[in-house]
Amino acid sequence: MNPLPPTLASRLAYNGRMRRPIERVIDLLDPHLNKLHNVDVEEARRRVRDGDPAAVRAIDGSFALVTVDGITVRMARSLDRPMRYFLAKREEGPALIVADRIDTLQRTLEDAGLENQFHPSYTRMVPAHYVVELALVGAQNRVPSYQLEGSGATVFDMPTDGYALLDLEAAAEHILAGHRLTLAARVENLTNTEYRDYLSRYKTFALNPGRNVTLRVGWEL
């Protein structure tokens, strides 16, 4: 694993009764892929470190940046750059691993002997043109704060409209050649309603799933 330079890593004291701070930030993103047109990389990092979404949105170009400011990690990316992270538990203290691909995160954990911690659902994607802020409070708290432009609010403060969903399910059985044949169909969100779940951390930039059809066939031998 390739940790950031010590000046960019948080190494805070703690005791057993405190939530443990992140001991290391491991940035596996390729810095040579940052292509900026109106600012240099250091200025772009400063904007991300300051946590100002409007200033980050004004960055023109392709970028994926991780910064550490005291006990706070902030991350931001442009639409064309994938960026995922994983918070791993270690004896020395939790480690935040950032990469462009899930398999890179998985290999890094395997190399560190932490492969038993990995599951794709434990990784998180940084949404484009948002500033994702993580307080260094340990691996049990994986919930990030998504800072919204101009408001200082987080995604969990944003209200959503009411909605109603209609699901439909049907099944039938038939004996065919002495065997039981089962056919079943389920349609979720039958009317293809556009809605945002209040508890969704992605509600500010993505709708919940639309109509989904599932077909099942069973054959009893």
pLDDT of 12 reads 29
What is the pTM for the complete model shown?
0.56
Q: CA-CA distance, 146 to 115, in Å (whole number)? A: 28
Q: What is the DSSP string of 80-140?
A: TS--EEEEE--TT--EEEEESSHHHHHHHHHHTT-GGG--GGG-EEPPTTSEEEEES--TT
How does the average pLDDT of the chain come out, rounded? 79
- In 3-state terms, what secondary structure has residue 42? helix
Query: Which tops the pLDDT comparison, 71 or 100?
Result: 100
Low-confidence winner among 37-51, 152-166, 172-186 (lowest mean pLDDT): 152-166
pLDDT at 29 over 90: yes
Query: Which tops the pLDDT comparison, 70 or 203?
Result: 70
